[in-house]
Amino acid sequence: MAAYWIWWALAALLVAVELTVGTFYLLAVGVAFAIGGVAAWMDVSPPGQLVVAGVLCVVGTIAAHRWRMRHGQPPPSPSLDIGQSVRVLGWKDDGGARVAYRGTQWDAEPASPDVARAETMYIVGTRGSTLLIADRRG
């Protein structure tokens, strides 16, 4: 088997794995391997192929890293719980509450100190597994 086919098969494998990971780093390495295959196809010596692929791997991963840092992670999607009503089962001495929501009991805290206490409250946010509630929908 010709060397360029090996380079291209590895490049295809890396790109396929990248589709499941989604980081762009393996995509950069896969493209570098594909260009290493082009170098092999052009009868560049094996050390030359490795240099071409290696340099492009480094350049590609640096470019992918800079792109990720510049664009960051996508903002988290808003919780589907926000705006839903909960039934207050009881208020605790520390100001928190125990509420019924989705068939079970949850710990809840008022979203701000001036929230009026009511029997039915609304979820305006979360802090870990604690619901933040208010007397009006957020």
Mean pLDDT of the chain: 90
pLDDT of residue 77: 67
Model confidence at 74: pLDDT above 90: no
- Our CA angle for 22, 27, 30, nearest 5°, is 145
DSSP 8-state code for residue 73: S
Sorting pLDDT into bands at 50, 70 and 90, what band is 41? very high
Phi, psi of 46, rounded to the nearest 5 degrees: -55, -45
Ranges of H-type helices in 23-127: 25-41, 46-71
The domains of the chain, with CATH numbers, are: 3-71 (no CATH), 85-134 (2.40.50)
pLDDT of residue 72: 75
pLDDT of residue 70: 86
The first and second tokens of residue 12, run together, are 């295809």
The first and second tokens of residue 85, run together, are 């009503």
Element (H, E) at 6: helix 3-21
Sorting pLDDT into bands at 50, 70 and 90, what band is 78? confident
CA 11 to chain centre: 24
Model confidence at 1: pLDDT above 80: no
pLDDT of residue 33: 95
The first and second tokens of residue 46, run together, are 């094996």
pTM here? Answer: 0.53
Model confidence at 68: pLDDT above 70: yes
